[in-house]
Amino acid sequence: MKEKLYLTVGNHPQKPGKLIAIVTDGHFRRGDKQTKVLTLEVVKTQAEAKDWFERVKVTRPWETRN
């Protein structure tokens, strides 16, 4: 897995007033040709998305547990 994780937040297409927060292991704007979605969450605000992102960066890198 790449060392850098990225958060992308956008409007939920089916739930007005909700956002989708997506964590990926790359980002096309940085020139990454292959990007994997690692997890996503439905949130209410940008702040909630950022808090969630900080939490999952610590707790889930990335689900390889023995």
Structure tokens at 40: 């996503």
**All structural domains of the chain with their residue ranges:** 6-59
Q: Output the pLDDT for position 2.
A: 47
What CA–CA distance (Å, rounded) separates 24 from 38?
Answer: 5
Structure tokens at 6: 């990225």
The pTM score is 0.80
pLDDT tens-place string over residues 14-56: 999 999 999 999 988 888 888 999 999 999 999 999 999 999 9
